[in-house]
Amino acid sequence: LGQGPLNGRHILVTSGPTHEPIDPVRYIANRSSGAQGTALAAALRDLGARVTFVTGPATVPPPAGVELVRVETAREMLAAVEAALPADAAIFAAAVADWRVANAAARKMKKDGSGAAPALEFAENPDILATVSQRKAGRPQLVVGFAAETHEVERHAAEKRARKGCDWIVANDVSPESGVMGGRENAVTIIDSSGAERWDRMDKAEVARRLAARIARALGANGK
Protein backbone atom coordinates (compact mmCIF):
# COMPACT_ATOMS: atom_id res chain seq x y z
CA LEU A 1 0.00 0.00 0.00
CA GLY A 2 1.26 3.43 -0.90
CA GLN A 3 1.50 6.59 1.14
CA GLY A 4 -1.56 8.77 1.52
CA PRO A 5 -3.03 11.39 3.82
CA LEU A 6 -5.04 8.71 5.63
CA ASN A 7 -2.16 6.29 6.16
CA GLY A 8 -2.34 4.79 9.64
CA ARG A 9 -5.99 5.81 10.05
CA HIS A 10 -8.81 3.35 10.59
CA ILE A 11 -12.16 4.31 9.05
CA LEU A 12 -15.40 2.42 9.41
CA VAL A 13 -18.00 2.61 6.63
CA THR A 14 -21.50 1.10 6.70
CA SER A 15 -23.27 0.54 3.40
CA GLY A 16 -26.17 -1.14 1.67
CA PRO A 17 -29.60 -2.01 3.02
CA THR A 18 -30.40 -4.29 5.90
CA HIS A 19 -32.75 -7.23 5.49
CA GLU A 20 -35.17 -7.96 8.30
CA PRO A 21 -36.63 -11.47 8.11
CA ILE A 22 -40.34 -12.19 8.10
CA ASP A 23 -39.69 -15.92 7.90
CA PRO A 24 -36.74 -17.93 6.49
CA VAL A 25 -37.57 -16.97 2.89
CA ARG A 26 -39.07 -13.48 3.17
CA TYR A 27 -37.79 -10.13 4.38
CA ILE A 28 -38.43 -6.40 4.43
CA ALA A 29 -35.76 -3.98 3.34
CA ASN A 30 -34.98 -0.47 2.18
CA ARG A 31 -34.14 0.36 -1.40
CA SER A 32 -30.36 0.80 -1.51
CA SER A 33 -27.78 -0.28 -4.06
CA GLY A 34 -24.81 0.47 -1.78
CA ALA A 35 -23.25 2.51 -4.59
CA GLN A 36 -22.39 5.65 -2.61
CA GLY A 37 -21.04 3.75 0.42
CA THR A 38 -18.94 1.50 -1.80
CA ALA A 39 -17.52 4.46 -3.73
CA LEU A 40 -16.70 6.24 -0.48
CA ALA A 41 -14.93 3.20 1.00
CA ALA A 42 -12.85 2.89 -2.18
CA ALA A 43 -11.94 6.60 -2.09
CA LEU A 44 -10.88 6.39 1.59
CA ARG A 45 -8.79 3.30 0.80
CA ASP A 46 -7.17 5.19 -2.07
CA LEU A 47 -6.08 7.90 0.40
CA GLY A 48 -4.32 5.22 2.47
CA ALA A 49 -6.90 4.46 5.17
CA ARG A 50 -7.46 1.03 6.62
CA VAL A 51 -11.18 0.64 5.91
CA THR A 52 -13.61 -1.67 7.67
CA PHE A 53 -16.60 -2.01 5.37
CA VAL A 54 -19.72 -3.29 7.10
CA THR A 55 -22.31 -4.00 4.43
CA GLY A 56 -25.81 -5.34 4.21
CA PRO A 57 -26.92 -7.25 1.10
CA ALA A 58 -26.06 -4.58 -1.49
CA THR A 59 -26.50 -4.92 -5.24
CA VAL A 60 -23.11 -3.47 -6.18
CA PRO A 61 -20.02 -5.57 -5.32
CA PRO A 62 -17.92 -4.45 -2.34
CA PRO A 63 -14.62 -2.66 -3.00
CA ALA A 64 -11.32 -4.55 -3.01
CA GLY A 65 -8.70 -3.83 -0.39
CA VAL A 66 -11.01 -3.31 2.58
CA GLU A 67 -11.84 -5.41 5.64
CA LEU A 68 -15.22 -6.75 4.55
CA VAL A 69 -17.90 -7.64 7.09
CA ARG A 70 -21.17 -8.88 5.62
CA VAL A 71 -24.34 -8.61 7.71
CA GLU A 72 -28.07 -9.05 7.11
CA THR A 73 -29.97 -7.24 9.85
CA ALA A 74 -29.68 -3.91 11.66
CA ARG A 75 -28.84 -5.65 14.90
CA GLU A 76 -26.05 -7.60 13.20
CA MET A 77 -24.81 -4.34 11.68
CA LEU A 78 -24.66 -2.66 15.10
CA ALA A 79 -22.74 -5.62 16.54
CA ALA A 80 -20.28 -5.58 13.63
CA VAL A 81 -19.78 -1.82 13.98
CA GLU A 82 -19.10 -2.08 17.72
CA ALA A 83 -16.69 -4.97 17.11
CA ALA A 84 -14.80 -2.87 14.54
CA LEU A 85 -14.25 0.11 16.87
CA PRO A 86 -12.06 1.94 17.71
CA ALA A 87 -11.90 3.97 14.52
CA ASP A 88 -10.70 7.47 13.72
CA ALA A 89 -13.83 8.13 11.68
CA ALA A 90 -17.13 6.33 11.14
CA ILE A 91 -19.25 6.96 8.06
CA PHE A 92 -22.81 5.64 8.11
CA ALA A 93 -23.95 5.30 4.53
CA ALA A 94 -26.17 2.25 5.11
CA ALA A 95 -29.93 2.42 4.58
CA VAL A 96 -30.86 0.66 7.80
CA ALA A 97 -34.39 -0.64 8.26
CA ASP A 98 -36.00 1.37 11.05
CA TRP A 99 -38.11 -1.60 12.12
CA ARG A 100 -37.68 -5.35 12.25
CA VAL A 101 -40.47 -7.92 12.29
CA ALA A 102 -41.07 -8.73 15.95
CA ASN A 103 -43.11 -11.86 15.21
CA ALA A 104 -40.81 -13.36 12.53
CA ALA A 105 -41.56 -17.04 11.99
CA ALA A 106 -38.93 -19.77 12.38
CA ARG A 107 -40.53 -21.77 9.56
CA LYS A 108 -41.94 -20.62 6.24
CA MET A 109 -45.39 -19.11 6.67
CA LYS A 110 -48.04 -20.99 4.68
CA LYS A 111 -51.36 -19.94 3.25
CA ASP A 112 -53.95 -21.87 5.24
CA GLY A 113 -56.70 -21.66 2.61
CA SER A 114 -58.95 -19.46 4.74
CA GLY A 115 -58.03 -16.27 2.87
CA ALA A 116 -56.74 -14.71 6.10
CA ALA A 117 -53.47 -12.74 5.75
CA PRO A 118 -50.84 -12.79 8.47
CA ALA A 119 -50.34 -9.67 10.57
CA LEU A 120 -46.79 -8.45 10.98
CA GLU A 121 -45.76 -6.79 14.21
CA PHE A 122 -42.82 -4.42 14.17
CA ALA A 123 -40.17 -3.50 16.73
CA GLU A 124 -37.82 -0.54 16.44
CA ASN A 125 -34.27 -1.30 15.40
CA PRO A 126 -31.28 0.29 17.15
CA ASP A 127 -30.09 3.53 15.56
CA ILE A 128 -26.48 2.69 14.80
CA LEU A 129 -25.43 6.23 13.89
CA ALA A 130 -26.96 7.69 17.07
CA THR A 131 -25.51 4.91 19.23
CA VAL A 132 -21.96 5.54 18.00
CA SER A 133 -22.34 9.35 17.97
CA GLN A 134 -23.46 9.36 21.60
CA ARG A 135 -20.80 6.99 22.94
CA LYS A 136 -19.19 8.37 26.08
CA ALA A 137 -15.93 6.50 25.58
CA GLY A 138 -14.25 5.59 22.35
CA ARG A 139 -16.30 7.82 20.11
CA PRO A 140 -14.60 8.21 16.73
CA GLN A 141 -13.13 11.67 16.22
CA LEU A 142 -15.43 12.19 13.23
CA VAL A 143 -18.91 10.66 12.83
CA VAL A 144 -20.77 11.22 9.57
CA GLY A 145 -24.38 10.36 8.79
CA PHE A 146 -26.32 10.51 5.56
CA ALA A 147 -29.81 11.84 5.06
CA ALA A 148 -32.06 11.12 2.13
CA GLU A 149 -34.79 13.71 2.02
CA THR A 150 -37.52 14.50 -0.46
CA HIS A 151 -38.20 18.10 0.63
CA GLU A 152 -36.76 20.84 2.85
CA VAL A 153 -33.50 18.94 2.61
CA GLU A 154 -31.33 21.36 4.59
CA ARG A 155 -33.68 21.94 7.47
CA HIS A 156 -34.39 18.25 7.95
CA ALA A 157 -30.70 17.38 7.69
CA ALA A 158 -29.72 19.98 10.28
CA GLU A 159 -32.37 18.64 12.64
CA LYS A 160 -31.11 15.11 12.05
CA ARG A 161 -27.53 16.15 12.83
CA ALA A 162 -28.63 17.61 16.17
CA ARG A 163 -30.87 14.68 17.06
CA LYS A 164 -28.31 11.98 16.29
CA GLY A 165 -25.29 13.83 17.66
CA CYS A 166 -23.06 13.26 14.63
CA ASP A 167 -20.55 15.77 13.28
CA TRP A 168 -21.67 15.96 9.66
CA ILE A 169 -24.73 15.04 7.73
CA VAL A 170 -24.36 14.42 4.01
CA ALA A 171 -27.82 15.22 2.71
CA ASN A 172 -29.23 14.40 -0.67
CA ASP A 173 -32.47 15.07 -2.43
CA VAL A 174 -34.10 11.76 -3.33
CA SER A 175 -37.39 13.18 -4.56
CA PRO A 176 -38.49 11.28 -7.69
CA GLU A 177 -37.78 14.34 -9.88
CA SER A 178 -34.14 14.46 -8.65
CA GLY A 179 -33.27 11.15 -10.37
CA VAL A 180 -30.67 10.42 -7.65
CA MET A 181 -32.14 7.13 -6.44
CA GLY A 182 -30.40 4.34 -8.34
CA GLY A 183 -28.73 6.87 -10.65
CA ARG A 184 -25.05 7.59 -11.35
CA GLU A 185 -25.08 11.12 -10.04
CA ASN A 186 -25.71 12.74 -6.71
CA ALA A 187 -26.20 16.32 -5.52
CA VAL A 188 -25.27 16.62 -1.86
CA THR A 189 -25.25 19.25 0.85
CA ILE A 190 -22.82 18.86 3.76
CA ILE A 191 -24.20 20.08 7.09
CA ASP A 192 -21.60 20.62 9.80
CA SER A 193 -21.15 22.87 12.85
CA SER A 194 -20.50 25.86 10.64
CA GLY A 195 -23.54 25.51 8.38
CA ALA A 196 -24.44 24.07 5.00
CA GLU A 197 -22.16 23.56 2.02
CA ARG A 198 -23.99 22.85 -1.25
CA TRP A 199 -22.15 20.82 -3.88
CA ASP A 200 -23.00 20.76 -7.56
CA ARG A 201 -24.50 17.66 -9.06
CA MET A 202 -21.71 15.21 -9.92
CA ASP A 203 -20.87 11.56 -10.36
CA LYS A 204 -21.18 9.46 -7.17
CA ALA A 205 -17.48 8.54 -7.55
CA GLU A 206 -16.57 12.23 -7.58
CA VAL A 207 -18.77 12.89 -4.51
CA ALA A 208 -16.88 10.04 -2.83
CA ARG A 209 -13.43 11.45 -3.70
CA ARG A 210 -14.33 14.92 -2.46
CA LEU A 211 -15.86 13.55 0.71
CA ALA A 212 -12.78 11.41 1.35
CA ALA A 213 -10.56 14.47 0.93
CA ARG A 214 -12.77 16.48 3.30
CA ILE A 215 -12.60 13.65 5.84
CA ALA A 216 -8.80 13.57 5.56
CA ARG A 217 -8.65 17.32 6.24
CA ALA A 218 -10.99 17.00 9.22
CA LEU A 219 -8.82 14.28 10.73
CA GLY A 220 -5.92 16.68 10.61
CA ALA A 221 -4.11 14.82 7.90
CA ASN A 222 -2.47 16.81 5.14
CA GLY A 223 -5.30 15.80 2.85
CA LYS A 224 -5.04 18.75 0.56
Q: How far apart are the first and last CA of the chain?
A: 19
d(CA 204, CA 184) in angstroms, rounded, equals 6
Tell whether residue 44 is a contact of ligand C5P (CB under 6 A): no
Instruction: Among 22, 71, 84, 128, indicate the residue that binds ligand C5P (CB under 6 A).
Output: 128
- Told to judge if 103 belongs to the known catalytic residues of this protein, a careful annotator would answer no
Using CB under 6 A as the binding rule, the residues of this chain from 87 to 116 that contact ligand C5P are 92, 94, 96, 98
Query: Count of residues binding ligand C5P (CB under 6 A)?
Result: 14
Q: Is the peptide bond before 17 cis (omega within 30 degrees of 0)?
A: no
Tell whether residue 147 is a contact of ligand C5P (CB under 6 A): yes
Other Cβ atoms closer than 10 A to 28:
16
Residue 111's H or E segment, with its range, is none
Q: Which stretch binds ligand C5P (CB under 6 A): 139-147, 175-183, 186-194, 195-203?
A: 139-147
Tell whether residue 127 is a contact of ligand C5P (CB under 6 A): yes
d(CA 121, CA 58) in angstroms, rounded, equals 25
Tell whether residue 125 is a contact of ligand C5P (CB under 6 A): yes
Binding residues for CTP: 98, 108, 126-129, 146, 160, 164
